[in-house]
């Protein structure tokens, strides 16, 4: 089982679930200290844990690390594409480097990593892939334009991959696309939860994703209002949608006091 960003937050929680069920854990991250601490903690729980310092914004680093993992551990049966970043600003306030890094980490990296390990799953005709998208990949939002773009890309690619695998007879390779609202990990500190859309606590949310992944569910959306957004987006006229979800639900003001990482 390989988890990107598995050294902390939701990634670490996924690793804990893997250890509890006897999986070998492979963590990709860039912070050596937190990786070491997480690996030691998981090892004390009886886990077999391996860490790799991988900058997933760098395609060549991904390719090299994937080659090493395949050589040292063989096929990856479960891939959790969890790593992600956010930069909150109006589009014209983003630097080109911020745009490039956000797109590389949030969407490009997921594709490159999956491309590296998917052939092994296809050979075994079995596997689980969890791609972390976001509710921001379903609804536009001020001060999140680049982040939204990166997560819309994940939504489109991930579900297309699911369809391609089903079409070609790889029904035992299940792709789960995850579109949460705000999760209380520090990444979105200061963000204001829209009306009837509570900020998710990571432990129960990861539990839900883990169980959904094992069952081969196609999509995980939480809280329930994310389903409402997805359905209303295609039904309502744009200005009416803006009024309801922007002004009444407060989605378009949710990042006004953002100070996360």
pTM for the structure as a whole: 0.94
Distances (CA, A) of 173 to 74, 111, 126, 152, 161: 17, 16, 5, 22, 10
Catalytic pick among 50, 90, 112, 147: 147
Cα 245 from Cα 111, distance rounded (Å)? 31
- 195, 250 contact by CB (below 8 A): yes
- Write the CATH number of the domain with boundaries 2-253: 3.40.50.720
Give the per-residue pLDDT at 99.
Answer: 97
Reduced to 3 states, what is the DSSP secondary structure of residue 78? Answer: strand
The set of long-range contacts for 63-70, using a CB threshold of 8 Å and a minimum separation of 24, is 63/112, 63/116, 65/28, 66/113, 66/116, 66/117, 67/116, 69/2, 69/26, 69/117, 70/116, 70/117, 70/120
Tens digit of pLDDT for each residue in 148-199? 999 999 999 999 999 999 999 999 999 999 999 999 998 888 888 887 888 9
Q: What is the DSSP letter of 48?
A: E
pLDDT score recorded for residue 259: 65
Helix axes 109-124, 59-73, angle to 10 degrees: 30
Is 147 marked active-site? Answer: yes
pLDDT-above-90 percentage for the chain:
88
Mean pLDDT of the chain: 95
Summary count for the chain: helices (H), strands (E): 9, 7
pLDDT confidence tier of residue 261, bands split at 50, 70 and 90: low
C-alpha to C-alpha distance for 11 and 29, rounded to whole angstroms: 10
Tokens 């480097």 map to which residue?
97
User: 175: closest CA among 225, 126, 138?
Assistant: 126
């Amino acid at each position: 089982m390989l988890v990107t960003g598995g050294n902390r937050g939701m990634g670490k929680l996924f690793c804990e679930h893997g250890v509890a069920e006897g999986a070998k854990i492979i963590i990709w991250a860039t912070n050596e200290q937190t990786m070491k601490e997480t690996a030691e903690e998981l090892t004390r729980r009886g886990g077999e844990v391996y860490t790799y310092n991988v900058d997933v914004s760098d395609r060549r680093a991904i390719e090299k690390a994937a080659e090493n993992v395949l050589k040292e551990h063989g096929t990856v049966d479960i891939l959790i594409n969890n790593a992600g970043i956010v930069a909150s600003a109006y589009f014209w306030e983003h630097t080109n480097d911020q745009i490039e890094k956000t797109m590389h980490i949030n969407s490009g990296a997921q594709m490159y990593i999956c491309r590296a390990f998917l052939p092994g799953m296809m050979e075994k005709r079995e596997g689980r892939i969890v791609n972390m998208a976001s509710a921001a990949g379903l609804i536009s939002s001020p001060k999140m334009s680049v982040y939204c773009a990166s997560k819309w890309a994940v939504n489109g690619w991930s579900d297309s991959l699911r369809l391609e695998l089903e079409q070609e007879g790889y029904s035992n390779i299940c792709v789960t696309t995850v579109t949460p609202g705000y999760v209380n990990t520090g990444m979105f500190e200061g963000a204001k939860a829209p009306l009837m859309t509570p900020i998710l606590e990571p432990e129960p949310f990861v539990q839900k994703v883990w169980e959904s992944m094992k069952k081969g569910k196609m999509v995980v959306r939480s809280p329930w209002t994310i389903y409402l957004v997805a359905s209303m987006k295609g039904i309502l006229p744009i200005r009416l949608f803006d009024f309801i979800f922007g002004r009444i639900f407060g989605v378009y003001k949710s990042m006004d006091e953002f100070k996360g990482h």
